[in-house]
């Protein structure tokens, strides 16, 4: 099993959000303890820093994540 390096303190990994338990566990299993490289929160954190990751940004909200990153770093692209 793979675990995101942010899992110890991330509200999604620790089921601390006001989501029902099934939804919370689904996010945690799919992202935090699964394909964390596809997480929008991790993308924002790596691109512009943890203080810029809104608590309510969901791991699958890539459009919102991209907008947040571009607001701070307009030259950022999804191309690595």
Q: Which residues bind ligand SF4 (CB under 6 A)?
A: 4, 6-7, 10, 12-13, 31-32, 36, 39, 41-42, 59
The alpha carbon torsion through 62, 67, 68, 70 (nearest 10 deg) reads 120
Choice between 47 and 59, CB closer to ligand SF4: 59
Choice between 42 and 69, CB closer to ligand SF4: 42
The DSSP output letter for 74 is T
Choice between 2 and 75, CB closer to ligand SF4: 2
Q: Quote the CA–CA distance of 10 and 28 in Å, as a whole number.
A: 10
């Amino acid at each position: 099993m793979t675990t995101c390096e942010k899992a110890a303190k991330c509200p999604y990994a620790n089921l601390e959000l006001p989501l029902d338990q099934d939804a919370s566990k689904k996010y945690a299993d799919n992202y935090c303890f699964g394909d964390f490289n596809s997480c929008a929160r991790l993308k924002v954190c790596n691109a512009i820093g943890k203080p810029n990751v809104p608590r309510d940004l969901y791991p699958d909200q890539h459009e919102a994540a991209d907008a947040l990153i571009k607001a701070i770093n307009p030259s950022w692209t999804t191309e690595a």
